[in-house]
Structure formats: C-alpha cells, structure tokens
A and B are shown apart, each in its own frame.
Chain A
C-alpha cells in the first residue's frame, strides 16, 4: 500500500487502548443484541417478565405499600438496581473467556473486554430501566425519581461493585477453577438476602446488622429512597459503606489483573 510512507511510525498507547475499547464495545454490542434470533427482545423481555410477575404477585395479591411506599415502584426499582449489579458482575466475570480469539491481536489486553462489557451492560440497563419506568408512569404510578442525584449515586456504586466483583471473580476462577461453583452458590441467595422482594427494615436487630453486611442491600435501599422520599428505609444504610466495597473490589480486581494478566491469556 502506497500510503505507508506518510503513516505514523507508532501509535500513542492511549490511542491504541481507546481504539481497542471502541472495537470491543461494538463487537460485544453486536454479540449481545444480535447473537441469536431477536436476542435484543429477550434482553428486554427477561426483566420485564420477571418484574411483571413479581409486581403482580405483590401489588394485586399481597399488599399495596411497603414501608410507606408504592409497592409497584418499590419492587421495580429494587429489581432493576439488583439486575444492574448481577448482569454486570456475570458479564465481566466471563469477559476474558468469551473473547479468547481476540487476544490474537496483542493490542487487546485482558482488561479491555472487561471494561467494554461493564460499560455496555450499564448502557443496556439504562435503556431497559427507562422503558420499564416509562411504562409504569403511563399506568399512573409515580415513577420519576424524587432525588435523581441520590439514585445516580447509588446506581453507580452498584455498577462499580458489580464491575469489581466481576474482575476479582474472573481471576479467581482462572487460578482456582473450582471457584466457579462456589461463586455460583454465592450468587443464588444474594437475590433473597439483598432484600429485592422483601423489606429488610422488617428484620429485627441484631439479625438486621448481619444482613446489612451485604453492600448490595445498602445500594438498593438508597435507590428506593431516591425514588420514594417517604419510604422507611433501613436506618443503618450508608453510602460510604457501598462505595468502600465498590472501590476496594475494583482496585483489588485491577491489581489481580495486573499481576495475573499473563495467566489469563497464557496457555
């Protein structure tokens, strides 16, 4: 090719990283949205069905309010926040595994698919959340946040923790393959103990303190508080606690990637 002469000799490392992130983000988006027939539909349909069913069970059959809050919004907001954490965590955990062919290009480092997947998941959940919340708003519920900044802060904390959890988990699974089973067992009760479908405020002390060790529970309560100003949240919630877990897990994950990056791709 004739333009070889006027091409830059080497690219700036930052420019390389940015172009790799862009390429992987687009690749992952394709895979996630068009992997199988109407994959994008199921991406939306799965949380809609889940939330729809639970909301029906709670709002129509059981109760009208939880802790002075509209149960429909209470359930929807809690679940969306929890799904954001879980989907980000699971996607990041398997980021390196599902992109193995791409490490043929040495510009692609193990960390790149992880960050691309986390950002993509945040994008998708934002769209899904907007669709669901708009729908219930049209159905006559107060689905707009009262304190949007608080919601963003809590949601970002949950996302960050999901990202950090995924980073740590993927390295652990590479070092000790049996960890995959342990982590799956750990993930299962998380849905229950994070208070997605029942109010943790109803648990008496000292047991509530044990449940509040889980940082996701803090995040969920803050998101609800941001949407529903008169909601009786668990009194012990702390944003600092959630962010402490998120920051520590992200930095631990980054450190593990730095140390074991070679292990992740080496045969």
Chain B
C-alpha cells in the first residue's frame, strides 16, 4: 500500500521557484490494483511517479511506502559507459541479489535477446536494444508494486508478443502504477485510474470513467 499525503511539488527554474506542478495530492494506492495515471502533457504524471519512486522529493507532504516498490522503470537508470552485463550486475547488487546474481543475469540476458551485445558498452546500443534491456531488467525482480513510466517493448513482432505476455503476467501478480501515452495500453493493463488535473489527483475505480473525465476537460 502506498499512502500519499498533501503532496506539493514545484521545480527550480532560472528565475527562482517555478509554478506548482502538484498542489495537494492525497491518495492511497492499494497493493493489488493496477492504476493508470492520466493527464495532459505537463500535468505532473512523471513527477508524481518519480516522487512515489523516491527519486525526487516533494516540497511539502509525504509518501509512505508500505511494500516492496520498484524503481520508476523505463526512464534512465543505466550508465552508458558500462556494458549491459555490468549495468545489470549493478541493479542486482543494489537490490540485494549478490547471492543469486548469476541466475538473474542469465534471465536478463536471455529475455532481452541481446546475445553478444550484452557484453558491449551501452552507448553502442540502438534505442531498441536499450529498451529491451530495460524491459528485461524490470522483470528480473520481485516487487509488490511496479512503477512503469512508458516502459515500451521495442523489437520485432515475436519479441513484442513475448514482452506483452510477460508484462501481463507481472501485472496480474503484483500491483502496477503506470504512465503511458497510448490509451489502449492503459486500458489493457489497468482497472483503476488516477486523473491528474490542475495539480490535484482524482481517483476513479474504473479507468473508463477517468478517460471520460479527462475528455470532458479537453472539450470544455
């Protein structure tokens, strides 16, 4: 379960503090619900995900994580000068998997289908290879709730199919908080939704209603 209380966030700009992105978010996200984050560009979806993930900090308010929570997957977290294997090792060690390091590494290597490129530095990777590595990494650990910020499964049709199946299985087993630009992706994986509008969060038990509310604000 994740409890968010009275969360406020604004960024530093060249001219002092910027405008409030999030102003007073109160949310309780249960453990076994898949939640989509919906909102216009710049509504603060990624900001909220980063704060929930503990890698950015609110100006006011707090987040309580009462479960094992993943890092915000899909955005960064990889060191370009190191190889895929070295990056994967780092992530395994940070998450306390020194003991079964080799199992995790072989999983990441096999799932990402990188082959020999797994031992090449990341800055030689194509964007597709990079996202395949990120995708494999995100599936290599057990969390209670996963945070997915535009995790995309790039690659050929066979890989995309395998990735979608694995992602679906993960979403069925654990909770999921996700941001995606594609409405169909969100509908496919999430039952509930949080709609971010003017710095406030609105919870919807059914994702369809959230999209309806979102579209009302656009047309209005």
Binding site for B on A (CB under 8 A): 1, 3-4, 7, 9-11, 15-16, 19-20, 22-24, 26-27, 30-31, 35, 101-108, 262, 265-267
- Name which residue of chain A comes closest to B80, CB basis: A101
Q: Are A23 and B76 in contact (CB under 8 A)?
A: no
Q: Are A22 and B98 in contact (CB under 8 A)?
A: yes
B68: chain A residues at CB < 8 Å are 9-10
- Name which residue of chain A comes closest to B69, CB basis: A106
Question: Out of B55, B79, B90, B173, which one reaches A265, CB within 8 Å?
Answer: B55
Q: Are A105 and B77 in contact (CB under 8 A)?
A: yes
Q: Are A19 and B81 in contact (CB under 8 A)?
A: no
Question: Out of B56, B79, B96, B173, which one reaches A101, CB within 8 Å?
Answer: B79
Q: Are A104 and B75 in contact (CB under 8 A)?
A: yes
Once bound together, how far apart are the Cα atoms of A103 and B75, in whole Å?
A: 11
Most buried by B among A3, A4, A22, A106: A106
A106: chain B residues at CB < 8 Å are 53-55, 71
Q: Is B11 an interface residue (CB 8 A)?
A: yes
For the residues of A in contact with B, the DSSP-based class is helix
B82: chain A residues at CB < 8 Å are 27, 30-31
Question: Out of A1, A3, A27, which one reaches B90, CB within 8 Å?
Answer: A27
Q: How far is the CB of B95 from chain A (nearest CB, A)?
A: 7
Q: How far is the CB of A31 from chain B (nearest CB, A)?
A: 7
Q: Are A105 and B79 in contact (CB under 8 A)?
A: no
Question: Out of B12, B71, B98, B142, which one reaches A104, CB within 8 Å?
Answer: B71
Q: Evaluate whether A102 and B77 lie within 8 angstroms (CB atoms) in the complex, with A10-B68, A26-B93, A262-B57 already known.
A: yes
For the residues of B in contact with A, the DSSP-based class is loop
- Count of A-B contacts judged by CB separation below 8 Å: 74
Q: Is B94 an interface residue (CB 8 A)?
A: yes
Seed contacts A3-B142, A266-B56; 5 additional CB < 8 Å A-B pairs: A27-B82, A101-B79, A103-B55, A108-B94, A265-B57
Q: Is B91 an interface residue (CB 8 A)?
A: yes
Once bound together, how far apart are the Cα atoms of A103 and B77, in whole Å?
A: 7
Once bound together, how far apart are the Cα atoms of A104 and B94, in whole Å?
A: 11
A3: chain B residues at CB < 8 Å are 142
Q: Evaluate whether A30 and B86 lie within 8 angstroms (CB atoms) in the complex, with A15-B96, A23-B93, A106-B71 already known.
A: yes
Q: Are B79 and A19 in contact (CB under 8 A)?
A: no
Most buried by A among B11, B12, B71: B71
Q: Is B78 an interface residue (CB 8 A)?
A: yes
Q: Are A20 and B79 in contact (CB under 8 A)?
A: no
A-facing residues in B59-107 (Cβ within 8 Å): 68, 71-72, 75-82, 86, 89-91, 93-96, 98
